[in-house]
């Protein structure tokens, strides 16, 4: 069983609202930059860091840098994965002026290696985002049993941010739909709060809702129980 009383949306409504919600937190940038965790990123939160990065490979492909362009991919990947610059970016996470300088340094090296501006067009970003969304919608829908709704948007946002895990999945499948929603809400709101993610967790929990559409709010005990659990976890 999963949660009931969903705040349902049509497919067009869902697509538009999901895109807007994700962009609110991930941004939409054609040039690479270091995100808050020190990872080189581009587009709508496309993480391109790592020795083996499927997302970076997809970005390269969208930009026309095919897997047969082995030397070019390696040169660009070496710039993206520069460990010293990533360390400096992490240290400058709360200093936007310094971070902008580091981003510009990475951009200049990528442009030099690429022989032109290393950037994504709106069409390239849209194509890759649509593919990523389709994959995540399918995965989250299968694991949660939740269809097009505000709740699914919140869950997919958590998936994009890497915090949709087994705790949330187990909560969604509790036998009592009230308990399932309350526990899933708790998992979204409090289980993965860290640093600059707090605003996102708050927004996801608010969108998900502690109570569903038309759900009886008479049983209000679960709300303070969730708050109590959070306070105890801080002790």
pLDDT of residue 10: 98
pLDDT of residue 2: 76
Q: Following DSSP, what letter does each residue of the chain receive, concatenated?
A: ----S--B--HHHHHHHHHHHHHHHH--EEEEEE-TTS-EEEETTEE--SSS-HHHHHHHHHTT--TT-HHHHHHHHHHHT-HHHHHHHHHTTT-HHHHHHHHHHHHHHHHHHHTS-----HHHHHHHHHHHHHHHHHHHHHHH---SBHHHHHHHHHHHTT---HHHHHHHT-SSHHHHHHHHHHHHHHTT--GGGHHHHHHHHHHH-SS-TT-----TTHHHHHHHHHHHHT-
10-residue mean pLDDT series, the chain (235 residues) = 89 97 96 94 97 95 97 98 97 94 98 98 98 95 96 96 92 93 94 78 96 64 51 44
The full set of domain ranges for the chain reads 11-23+145-233, 26-122
pLDDT of residue 232: 46
pLDDT of residue 40: 98
């Amino acid at each position: 069983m999963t949660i009931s009383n969903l705040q349902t949306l049509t497919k067009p409504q869902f697509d538009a609202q999901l895109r807007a919600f994700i962009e609110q937190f991930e941004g939409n940038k054609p040039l690479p930059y270091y995100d808050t965790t020190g990872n080189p990123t581009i587009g709508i939160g496309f993480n391109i860091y790592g020795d083996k990065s499927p997302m970076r490979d997809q970005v390269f492909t969208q930009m026309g840098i095919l897997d047969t362009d082995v030397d070019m991919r390696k040169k660009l990947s070496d710039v993206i994965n520069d460990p010293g610059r990533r360390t400096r970016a992490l240290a400058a996470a709360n200093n936007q002026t310094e971070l902008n300088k580091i981003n510009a340094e990475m951009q200049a090296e990528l442009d030099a290696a690429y022989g032109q501006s290393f950037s994504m067009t709106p069409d390239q970003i849209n194509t890759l985002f649509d593919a990523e969304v389709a994959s995540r919608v399918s995965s989250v829908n299968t694991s949660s049993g939740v269809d097009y709704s505000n709740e699914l948007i919140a869950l997919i946002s958590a998936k994009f941010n890497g915090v949709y895990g087994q705790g949330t999945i187990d909560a969604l499948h509790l036998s009592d739909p009230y308990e399932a929603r309350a526990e899933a809400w708790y998992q979204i709101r409090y289980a993965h709060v860290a640093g600059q993610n707090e605003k996102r967790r708050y927004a996801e929990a608010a969108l998900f809702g502690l109570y569903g559409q038309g759900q009886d709010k008479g049983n209000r005990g679960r709300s303070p129980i969730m708050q109590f659990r959070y306070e105890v976890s801080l002790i």
